[in-house]
Chains A and B, each alone.
Chain A
Amino acid sequence: QVQLQESGPGLVKPSETLSLTCTVSGDSISSYYWSWIRQPPGKGLEWIGYIYYSGSTNYNPSLKSRVAISVDTSKNQFSLKLTSVTAADTAVYYCARTIYAFWSGYHYWYFDLWGRGTLVTVSS
């Protein structure tokens, strides 16, 4: 079955860049959208942004100046970079397959598959 796995450093220093990769197995990364979502400890969910396999992106405006999401179809991976991190960026980071569908005249979006998440702590 399709699986998503986040990987990257679990500890990042303040002002540095957080870098994570999501590896997709069991299916091709092509023909889908892919998102990053994060969850600070004990808090709710925040959508960071998505990328289409072709490379087009859409970011949360609150993070847009610091975020870059890229895709490597040859490796079936997509990645997140978040610059100038602070303690407020400490969170569990999830990658998720993002479905866009159009049928019966309606558009649908939803996250149908999620990775298990990886905790990234920002601390010196």
Chain B
Amino acid sequence: EIVLTQSPGTLSLSPGERATLSCRASQSVSSTYLAWYQQKPGQAPRLLIYGASNRATGIPDKFSGSGSGTDFTLTISRLEPEDFAVYYCQQYVNSPWTFGQGTKVQIK
């Protein structure tokens, strides 16, 4: 089973700041099998990024994804109030498909 470790666990930032979230895999993950999701309280997750760097339909360009191998990054260029949420990475390389434990981005 591929374990995804996200860091930091919590990120405290102010609106307008840049957020950098990390996702590290326990073994190499093809970049096309890595996705990022955003989840707000009481809501279902929402797809942000697929294939490590492709924005999903309707996702603004302030969200960007990068990385390869075992290290992947989600960047939010300028935080807006609606961006404070929990973010999960997920891999689809091997079964079971697994998620990271999440990074909470909270208002400082």
Chain A residue nearest to B91 (CB atoms) is: A109
Query: Which of A10-18, A71-79, A114-122 faces chain B?
Result: A114-122
User: A117 contacts which chain B residues (CB < 8 A)?
Assistant: 44
Judge whether B96 is part of the interface by a CB distance below 8 angstroms: yes
Judge whether A25 is part of the interface by a CB distance below 8 angstroms: no
What separation, in Å, do the CA atoms of A45 and B91 have in the docked complex? 12
Enumerate B52-108 residues with CB–CB distance to A below 8 Å: 54, 56-57, 88, 90, 92, 95-102
At the interface, is chain A mostly helix, strand, loop or mixed? strand
Smallest Cβ distance from B12 to chain A, in angstroms?
19
Interface size class on chain B is 20 to 34
The interface on chain A, measured as residues whose beta carbon lies within 8 A of the other chain's beta carbons, has a size of 22
User: A60 contacts which chain B residues (CB < 8 A)?
Assistant: 95-97
Judge whether B35 is part of the interface by a CB distance below 8 angstroms: yes
Judge whether B32 is part of the interface by a CB distance below 8 angstroms: yes
CB contact between A112 and one of B56, B95, B100 (< 8 Å): that residue: B56
Smallest Cβ distance from A81 to chain B, in angstroms?
18
What separation, in Å, do the CA atoms of A61 and B96 have in the docked complex? 7
Judge whether B8 is part of the interface by a CB distance below 8 angstroms: no
Closest 7 CB pairs of A and B: A109-B92, A110-B50, A114-B44, A60-B96, A45-B99, A47-B97, A106-B32
Residues of B bordering A, CB below 8 Å: 30, 32-33, 35, 37, 43-47, 50-51, 54, 56-57, 88, 90, 92, 95-102
Residues of A bordering B, CB below 8 Å: 44-47, 58-62, 94, 99, 106-112, 114-117
